[in-house]
Amino acid sequence: MGQGLLTDGFTRAGGPLACEGVPLAAIADAVGTPAYVYSAGTVRARLAALEAVLAGVPHRVHYALKANGTHGVLQVLRAAGAGADVVSGGELYRARRAGFAPSDIVFDGPGKSADELREAIRAGVRVINLESQGEAELVAALAADEGRVVPVGLRVNPEVTVENFHAYISTGEAGDKFGIPLDDAFGVAAWVAGRPSLRLVGLHMHVGSQLDTLGAFDEAVAKLAALLARLRAELPATAATLTLLDLGGGLPVAYGDGDRGADLEAYGEVVRRAHARTGCEILLEPGRLLVAEAGVLLTRVRYRKRSGGRDYVIVDAGMNDLIRPPLYDAFHAIEAVAPGEAALVASVVGPVCESGDFFGHGRPLPPVAPGDLIVLRTAGAYGSVMSSNYNARPRAAEVLVDGDRYAVVRRRESYEDLMRLENESPTWRSA
């Protein structure tokens, strides 16, 4: 595999681009631009494809909300049977508002606050993955206060060298801020195992995102399996409780720049081996895999111009809507919605007053004119969730398509929304 999984829900059948049965031009006319458009069918298909390669392995897929936490998208995933992986109190709140049962939620993150931890304990989430001795001490104290025995896992940094396209999305190398260093993990586990308010139920890792190969991932699994065996042998009380191995996310998608996308069959084999090595139920936290290809950012051309021999296409979406190109040097394929032969090689840029406000340089496009529609493909993950109001730009609308119907699942922000939280007549206080 690795050639792309299935159709991604955006097709043109020789004509203008449509999402499932809905022409993107109809959405742009009704909802305006910029707008994120998601294909519900693609989200379901990606989850089903992942589940298919995991058949027979005791496992649970906990979708990582950080990739896209929009309520409408969460409801599609919950209805399709996924659990949730959250990394903040806000994501916990969103997951619960979307109907995920606390027992279907795992809570990760390197710097959870006492309030967030208390909310997770009171909700009764499936497992809180701890990332430091300090956090273990805090959770033990909070759990004791609440009179509860809280299921916890340890996020261990397996210290492997991963292959992906940007240092900012690698998280499992020696010295990274994430997880408990491998050499310290046994000591923290022993401390946790001795606390009456904690129950050590598992080990956790997440080595990075958009993983090009599975070698380092498999190596990390082997390190966790060895640690698990040592814990069971030397801390007999944990032998009965240690039943979960959480392998995090990281499955890649093909953005169209020569990248390969996920080899799901090979991934299924690694997961199968992880279960065979440990006897644990395997938890998975895919984000990008399930939603990236299901989304586009739909935008309209505002102006064309030439500068220094270069053609510019200035669109109405900006880096505040989709920051991945300047943040990670990320590639998004750019297409005109109307069909047409490439006649132009252009820089596609936004209206934000920053040189970093670009979506791609040297991109072939038909001879687009002001008013024409363009899409940035594969924008369903780490798109809207990372958007901001920079340059006082209201955030884009978000639209979910299901078959031949669509719904606005997040309305476009208004100017009033920009001011909603600000106090125009503040009360001044003395310290």
**Contacts to ligand PLP by CB under 6 A:** 64, 66-67, 85, 108, 206, 209, 248-251, 285-289, 381
Point out the residues that are catalytic: 353
Shorter beta-carbon distance to ligand PLP: residue 84 or 399: 84
Listed in sequence order, the residues at least 6 apart from 27 whose beta carbon sits closer than 8 Å to its beta carbon are 19, 35, 37, 298, 399, 401, 406
Burial 295-319 (b: 16+ CB within 10 A, else e): bbbbbbbeebeeeeeebbbbbbbbb
Q: How many CB atoms lie within 10 A of CB 392?
A: 9
**Looking at beta carbons only, is 251 or 337 nearer to ligand PLP?**
251
Residue 235, token pair as written in the block: 């801390």
Q: How far is the CB of 151 from ligand PLP (least distance, A)?
A: 17
Strand-pair category, 310-315 with 295-307? antiparallel
246 CB burial (10 A radius; 0-12, 13-18, 19+) = buried
How far is 108 from 366, CA to CA, in rounded Å?
A: 45
Cα–Cα distance for residue pair 427/94, rounded to 1 Å: 32
Q: What are phi and psi of 415, to 5 degrees?
A: -60, -35
* Residue number closest to ligand PLP, CB atom: 249
Residue 27 phi, psi dihedral angles, 5° rounding: -65, -45
Q: Which is nearer to ligand PLP, 63 or 359 (CB)?
A: 63
C-beta of 332: minimal distance to ligand PLP in Å?
A: 16
169 or 344: CB nearest ligand PLP: 169
Lookup: tokens for 181: 């260093």
Give 245-278 as a DSSP string: EE---------SSS-----HHHHHHHHHHHHHHH
Identify the CA nearest to 319 among candidates 66, 28, 10, 34: 34
CB 380 within 8 A of CB 399: no
Specify whether the CB–CB gap between 375 and 337 falls below 8 A: yes
Q: In this complex, which beta carbon is closest to ligand PLP, that of residue 83 or of residue 249?
A: 249
Q: Is 48 left (phi over 0), alpha (psi -120 to 50) or beta?
A: alpha
